[in-house]
Structure 1
Amino acid sequence: MTQPDLSPPPPTTQLVLVTGPSGAGRSTAIRVLEDNGFETIDNLPLGLVPRLLDGPAHDRPLGLVVDARNRDFTTTSLLATISLLQARRDLQLTVLYLDCRPEVLLRRYSETRRRHPLAPAEGPETGIARELDLLEQVRDRADLVIDTSEINVHQLRAEVEKALAPGGSRNLAVTVHSFSYKRGLPMGIDMAFDCRFLRNPYWQPALRPHDGRDADVATHVAGDPRYPEFRTKVLDLTRFLLPAYVDEGKSHFSVAFGCTGGQHRSVMLAESVGATLAEEGWQVSIRHRELERQR
């Protein structure tokens, strides 16, 4: 009598195959997955998909774009690949098909003046027709179809996150910086606050050698009667803006605090505000530009 297999199932890797006609939003969709922690590869040849998945289980979900640009792409080969992946016990497969009406695709190609990959020497309408015909059976096999004809990139981001990355809004990356005004603003800052009006630990000999991460320095700065209201207003504004940036489709937001030397007040504010935002569920990293230069 054959004994039942009581071994535990292999670890499961989430895999999203993104496909659909050119111009329907594949690049946007794969960027959304990347922003939400997926390891992503665009335009992967079909023959390499099984090799990529062999070996140890991946520690991150995977997002792969497969489409008619590949030299080994055929309808039969993609359908066979889907069947092969569906049969694997170590994969949780979702086939995402981004659809779009032909006239909308033609308008998008006319606006960008790009050549269609399936009709480089002909008009885009020829390539669109060929590709939609090629992908008709693939669309029927898809687990999730999103028609992008009447939605913008922000709405597409929301649709992909809702379906494949629940809780994606909290995956907005927030970086909180401290800096010295003597060296100018850090690059790529979305919002900056000047802390130089707060009382300065530099003028206290016992505090001068330490930075804003020191408890005594933090207590000294927080003792300024203007500090509590300033911190509250900064947090209120930041809490108001972060969901708005999520709705806009941003994947990163940076806020910076500056003081004279970038050692005390700005560091203390960056640590305090960053810790509060992290406690509230945001993905936060803290950078101290001037302290990092001293390492």
Structure 2
Amino acid sequence: MSEEEDLTPVKPEESELLVVTGMSGAGRTTAAHALEDHGWYVVDNLPPQMLGTLAELVSRMPESLPRLAVVIDVRSKNLQRDIREALNGLGASAVNLRVLFLDASDEVLVRRFEQGRRPHPLQGDGRISDGIRAERELLARLKDSSDLVIDTTDMNVHALATNVTELFSDSGPIVLRLNVMSFGFKYGLPVDANFVADARFIPNPHWVPALRPHTGLEKQVSDFVLIDSGAEEFIKRFVFALEPVLEGYRQENKHYATIAVGCTGGKHRSVAVAEELGKRLAQLPRTKVAVQHRDLGRE
């Protein structure tokens, strides 16, 4: 091979086109900035009617626009239809189009709008909560059909940027990223959970005075939870049941899933099980696992 041939750039087989959308105030701008920092070309506030045309342009120029993200907000009343038409119109073109949906709880969204001293785009003459309710109804179907959903309720801008960075590195999206999360049922189910496992069948360390002050991250609690309690068999069978599901995610070009493990307070059992489950899932091929504990340290 000649030196000239060595220097010839390789044409990408497939371009990445990412639609960033979701609830107003959930962090679209932060996500867009994080994508820009990692080599994505970002188009903000694109009219959704132009998405199909842009996708066609990307498919014809993969070497010029290999990784393009477009930020679309709720101002289009036909957002779901326009995105779906763009997806259907791609056909066999060499574009990998995904939809990233950002969400947060109503309470947090209201607080963010109040702190920013700006109205919600759909509130009209009503309250901020009225606009959020209208937007949630409008985007419900789009959220359900999105490839990735990130709940930013408990994230600041730095945590969200880190999350987006982990999903979209310089080499493109990872094959499959699993977020294993422990939580306490008394604080509510995680809104972005794809799978929920209930660890409340395991004897509770809370009722053992020597273990009560400790957490599932500590060996004495972890051993109590995982040994002679049925937890080992539960984890083994749960991973076995997840394997064909995760392979189906890959085949359907889905790259993100949240697996939530709950106990009463999110301090002992769910933490220990989530840690062990994360270790087992990390051994699966083409999989990256992050473990977080939503309610650890919460009184």
TM-score, normalization: structure 1? 0.50
Quick check: which has more Rg, 1 or 2?
1
